[in-house]
Structure 1
Amino acid sequence: MMQPRAQTLPRSRPLWSGLMVLAAAVGIGTAAAADGHETIIESHGYSFYGDLKYPADYTHFDYVNPDAPKGGEISLPFVGTLDSMNPYSGKGRAHLFSIFAYESLLGESPAQDGLPADVYGEAYCLLCETLEYPEDKSWVQFNMRKDATFSDGTPVTAHDIAFSHNLLLDEGLQSYANAVRKRIPKVEVIDDHTIKFYFAEGISRRSLIEQVGGVPVWPSKWMKENGVGLKDSWLDSPPGSGAYVISDVDLSRNITLTRNPDYWGKDLPINKGRFNFDTIRLEIISDDTASFEAFKSGLYTFRREGDSKKWAAGYEFPKVTNGFIKKEELLDGSPPTPSGVIFNLGREVLQDRDVRKAISLMFNFEWTNESLQYGLFEQRTSFSEGTPVMAQGVPEGAELEILTSLGDLAPPDMLSDEVVMPHTSSAARLLDRRNARAAQKLLDDAGWEVVNGQRQKDGKPLKLSFLFNSTASPTVTAAIENFVSNLTSIGIDVALEKVDSSQYTTRERARDYDMVYDAYAAFLGTGTGLAQYYGSEAAEYSLFNPAGLASPMVDAIIEASLAAETREEEQAAMTALDRALRYEFFMIPMWYNPVTWVVYYDQYNHPETQPPYATGHLDYWWYDEEKAQKLRDAGVLR
């Protein structure tokens, strides 16, 4: 189960798998219960298989600089509009910065990349000191740190944990609340610093401990006294217990976070070498062109670049050539976010898989990449691109066993044919005539005939609405406009509806579109959160499932993955899931970048060896005062 988080997130990495390290070597303790029948595991961290990279006496994560200096500011852009500081209600549009103030029992990174950033599927105590659970994981108890406080000085207690958990159920996102209630029927506050969660019988234990350990914690007394709940917009946010406080909010201009000098957890091993900037500032800018100009002028100092045209040709101005601004490619070990054109499967016309295939044939990746993107991108094929669970070829071995066990739920051709791959196109011209002919035949066979240049069936035109965020970069906008042009050429009437980010968010939540440019979540391992993205349970209303995918086959594979007892079984199930999702064909996969592009004013440092699963600029980078002074002396920055 996933936390309902801010609407504007960077590339996400769910904590659904981990690395293999012998538990005996890392200080996971066990103790027999008084009746001698139940073995209780007590640990400083958690992974489903019981293996942790970092021992109980670890001093810091391997990839951080434990001696990183504190100070300075980093500033970043947000392109679009914001109208809330509360991302948990599903109303309004909030930013990632709105959650920075809040911590959980198990630690998370500020950018939600997963913590630590050098392993998968592991979590370590933050507000808790230890956690205890039986071998069957039917419950978990968190023993909290007694010195944890909110930024206003009040203690963080088990009562706040229980309050926050229940508040999310009562006022949070419906798909989240429904999923949690079924799996976590009871929470018990044992004393001020001890809390116990009980899990439902007869269900998978996957993600349950991580779920309750990841609930953001709000001060119950403050919330009740001020009459604040999740249904409010939160322009004045409740105090948090984290390293940063929200010090200034103007949702038309900027948001400022300030490092709390009295932060209770600053000396913990989990925080060593992290949270190094005194100030983190977000500049809110209307569109990408204006944002780029603002960066050039020095309004903000760090930028993650996603526009290939800018990366290839836009950074040739003096600040770059003189070395004041640094361009850097960072390796990224996470699977790329599965983004692309998503079909609303609730629309009758799009329930025909052949119609969806016909539409997809009109997207020309090769021409787009060569003509608009300087050949810098690769075409995404998988929901877990470039990982061990990426489906390839025909199913075999353990994966085939899982698929055949599904009986009639698995189509015969999925078992015998190569995994679904994106079509290829000619880079020589936008309209690939071979693909156009194939698309037209599929439409003809589906009963959509050409009448006066337009596709019609039973006297009704094939007319589609395409929801698109107007704040997208000019390159992405051009790619989508050319795709729509190709669709029009074969008689499909497509209305490309460019709306601002607030309208986009509102309409997307209402599923007010036939097609939308958006994304799902990549995966490396299993977890109950998969059902919110890809399952039928909440398909009609889940904000994480914009296609409304409801496939009994996909549901069965997710359940099989949750029942896996070994990593090998889990990996086979994840490979089967990737194959099934690609077969369902609810998205046109577009492009991805195998590296992360960043540009920044040369006043920051990061560890020489970056961890594989996070950029880390808001987590473990630091400010270099000597470099910053050189920029000021040169008049580059104030």
Structure 2
Amino acid sequence: MIKRRSNTSLARLFNHLLCVASIGLVMLATPLMAQNSEAPPAANSAPFNTPQHGIAMHGDTKYPPGFPHFDYVNPNAPKGDTLRLAVVANGFDTFNPFHLRGVAAAGISGYLYDTLMESSADEPFSAYGLIAESIETPADRSYVVFNLRSEARFQDGEQITAEDVAFSFNTLVTEGHPFFRNYYADVSNVTVESPQRIRFDFDTTKNRELPMILGQLPILPAHYWADREFGDSGLTPPLGSGPYRIAEFDAGRSVTYERVEDYWAKDLGVRKGRYNFNQIRYDYYNDDTVALEAFKAGNFDFRLESSAKNWATSYTGQRFESGEIITEAIGHQRPAGMQGFVFNTRKAIFSDPRVRKALTYAFDFEWANQNLFYDQYIRSDSYFANSDLASSGLPEGRELEILERYRDSLPPRVFNQAYQPPVTDGQQGVRANLKIALEELRAAGYSIKNGKMVHSETGETLAFEVLLFQKTFERVVLPFKNNLARLGVDVTVRLVDSNQYVQRVRSFDYDMTTQVFGQSDSPGNEQRDYWHSNSLDVNGSRNYAGVNNPVVDALVEQVIQAPDREELVYRTRALDRVLLNNYYVVPHWYLASDRVAYWSYLKHPGHAAKNGVDINNWWVER
């Protein structure tokens, strides 16, 4: 609902309103520092009755008003040249990344659309004004006001106004991907107070993150969409406000973005030193092996390597020895999240946690790490690995206090067993683990009949399908399948193209699949999309495991409502522990560095931000 206030009401409102908020859209990876500048003093300690240039989730922001650039960029990076990238997928069929329909072109949301705020990559969770010049929110964060920059423009020269912000919010939560409805569920009212001022009211005072995540809102041009159907954009290049526009494309095969020369925000501190390429081109490949060879042949410039085998064996030859192509493993401190084989607990075969626990014992990580991954990986033992948010040992102190209120609804192991994924060291290897798996399956009512694992009451064989779209991942799944076969469990592996995979995952049409639950250093509203029962049957949600657990629901809300960083850590650890002990995934592994290969004319700042590599901070020197 949108309300418009009179100028008189607006004047009265200014006398008793408030202060601060927001955060910008975060790219897939993150940056590398450049300058030897000292960190500026803490800057966000003004009283809560004045507009602010930025906001931190907890505590103060690092950067002061008017800061010239982020510390991890090179503000003098030259502009020019073309960056060529590869995408391994079966193409794209839409330029609308905000709708459930279709597969969007790579890069479309980050390059075409600006947001109200921009996050920094060297703080846990802070954001600074982009389209919004300043933000206001009271101490209880019960609402937020964004004051827009008068110079903010769409790429056709039209000014960005509060009406555009209201249109964007309403369109995304009603017609966009279901994620937006969950993410902004606590917004109760949107009020356009003037052409450059908009207010969002909330139906809770316990969602401290909400003013900030509203700053992530991508702003769409209302005038462009006035005579268009939002869900039917197809491959018509849309109008944006960001640093790039679509220059050309070959449907499903490539898309090229060109830098907007008169981009309105190019000199702002949140943009200085970034988006340095004149053009960015994505070419699509159906096969990753072909893509790798194309990279080595010089057909594209930069590659983020996800395969340990490739990293260990494929980056060799004269061009690597001569320095024409450079390889680096650049360390990061971002939370690794959780990657794993995900059980779809909507399926009856995976409804019993004892079955899920049993099957985790059939995955031999130690064998895979040694024989497939060249000992490059660390086993995942948390949904928030590589951070202080991860649970460990037995719960104690404040974390134990949080969990105690749910003791009667939780398995005893939450309190008396430290979680650890199964380990297969020693001479017996996986054999000892398969014995444990067999005991768990028997406790769940299964027994082996004629070589098959059969439920004693239903007579159904324990059988399921693993859905994949990356052929290279078969080498990980097949040993897992073979171990399960020793238990009498029938597993089939289904390899489909990327488009079919996307559609099946969106509709939860799988038994088991591989997913990554990415995490930030400040978890919040996105946890609803991962774990909350409200997202259980929402097509396109990221509740891949079908989590439907009242305790998880309660802990998710507590994470969102955490009043400070210390309490956020305790509440997140409690959530992590409950998720782990419900065995929603078979944990995989993580890497605390980004493996990148690039041609030597590409340059990057000399020091990485905590979040790692961000290609949008790089440039070309030939």
Q: When the two structures are superposed, what TM-score results if normalisation uses the length of structure 2?
A: 0.90
3-state SS of 1:52 partner: coil
Q: Supply the distance in 2 between the matched residues of 1:4 and 1:261 (Cα, whole angstroms).
A: 22
| Equivalent residue runs for 1:560-599 within 5 Å | 560-599=558-597
Could you tell me which of 496, 499, 503 is aligned with 1:502? 499
Structure 1 residue aligned with 2:618: 621
Could you tell me which of 68, 74, 97 is aligned with 2:107? 97
3-state SS of 2:611 partner: coil
Q: 1:121 to 1:342 in 2, by over 3 A?
A: same
Contact kept? 2:93, 2:234, Cα under 8 Å? no
Residue by residue over 1:328-377, the C-alpha shift from the partner in whole angstroms, topping out at 9 and shown as x without a partner, is 11011111131110000111121111111121111111111111111111
Could you tell me which of 128, 137, 142 is aligned with 1:138? 142
| Equivalent residue runs for 1:350-365 within 5 Å | 350-365=350-365
Contact kept? 1:251, 1:284, Cα under 8 Å? no
| Equivalent residue runs for 1:131-530 within 5 Å | 131-177=135-181, 180=184, 182-200=185-203, 202-225=204-227, 227-229=228-230, 231-418=231-418, 420-426=419-425, 432-457=430-455, 458-469=458-469, 471-472=470-471, 474=472, 476-530=473-527
- Tell me by how many angstroms 1:12 deviates: 9.2
Where has structure 1 moved over 6 Å in runs of 4 or more?
2-6
One-letter code aligned to 2:217 = V
3-state SS of 1:537 partner: helix
Structure 2 residue aligned with 1:36: none
Q: Supply the distance in 2 between the matched residues of 1:135 and 1:27 (Cα, whole angstroms).
A: 13
Contact kept? 1:525, 1:574, Cα under 8 Å? no
Residue by residue over 1:220-257, the C-alpha shift from the partner in whole angstroms, topping out at 9 and shown as x without a partner, is 111113x131x124311321111111112223321111
Q: Supply the distance in 1 between the matched residues of 2:45 and 2:394 (Cα, whole angstroms).
A: 41
One-letter code aligned to 2:291 = S
Moved more, 187-196 or 233-242: 233-242
Could you tell me which of 68, 84, 88 is aligned with 2:94? 84
Contact kept? 2:25, 2:115, Cα under 8 Å? no
Q: 1:427 to 1:503 in 2, by over 3 A?
A: farther
- Tell me by how many angstroms 1:203 deviates: 4.6
Structure 2 residue aligned with 1:121: 125
Structure 2 residue aligned with 1:35: none
Task: Name stretches of at least 5 consecutive residues in structure 2 with no aligned partner.
Answer: 1-21, 32-38
Moved more, 389-398 or 78-87: 78-87
Q: Supply the distance in 1 between the matched residues of 2:148 and 2:245 (Cα, whole angstroms).
A: 22
Structure 2 residue aligned with 1:74: 83
Structure 2 residue aligned with 1:607: 605
One-letter code aligned to 1:208 = L
One-letter code aligned to 2:492 = A
One-letter code aligned to 1:122 = S
One-letter code aligned to 2:96 = N
Moved more, 329-338 or 117-126: 329-338
One-letter code aligned to 2:558 = A
Residue by residue over 1:410-439, the C-alpha shift from the partner in whole angstroms, topping out at 9 and shown as x without a partner, is 333312221x1110014879x721112222
Moved more, 343-352 or 46-55: 46-55
Q: Supply the distance in 1 between the matched residues of 2:500 and 2:485 (Cα, whole angstroms).
A: 25
- Tell me by how many angstroms 1:96 deviates: 4.0
Q: Supply the distance in 2 between the matched residues of 1:5 and 1:616 (Cα, whole angstroms).
A: 13
RMSD in angstroms over aligned alpha carbons? 2.3
Contact kept? 2:24, 2:116, Cα under 8 Å? no
Contact kept? 1:118, 1:613, Cα under 8 Å? yes
Q: 1:79 to 1:468 in 2, by over 3 A?
A: same
Contact kept? 1:331, 1:594, Cα under 8 Å? yes
Q: Supply the distance in 2 between the matched residues of 1:41 and 1:404 (Cα, whole angstroms).
A: 41
Contact kept? 1:468, 1:499, Cα under 8 Å? yes
Would you say how many aligned residue pairs link Structure 1 and Structure 2?
A: 589
Contact kept? 1:106, 1:125, Cα under 8 Å? yes
Residue by residue over 1:576-622, the C-alpha shift from the partner in whole angstroms, topping out at 9 and shown as x without a partner, is 111111111100111211211000111111111111113011x2111
One-letter code aligned to 2:503 = T
- Tell me by how many angstroms 1:179 deviates: 5.3
Contact kept? 1:274, 1:621, Cα under 8 Å? yes
Task: Name stretches of at least 5 consecutive residues in structure 1 with no aligned partner.
Answer: 14-20, 31-38, 108-114, 626-638
Moved more, 499-508 or 148-157: 148-157
Q: 1:436 to 1:49 in 2, by over 3 A?
A: closer
One-letter code aligned to 2:229 = V
Structure 1 residue aligned with 2:67: 58
Q: Supply the distance in 2 between the matched residues of 1:155 and 1:478 (Cα, whole angstroms).
A: 53
3-state SS of 2:107 partner: helix
Moved more, 503-512 or 169-178: 169-178
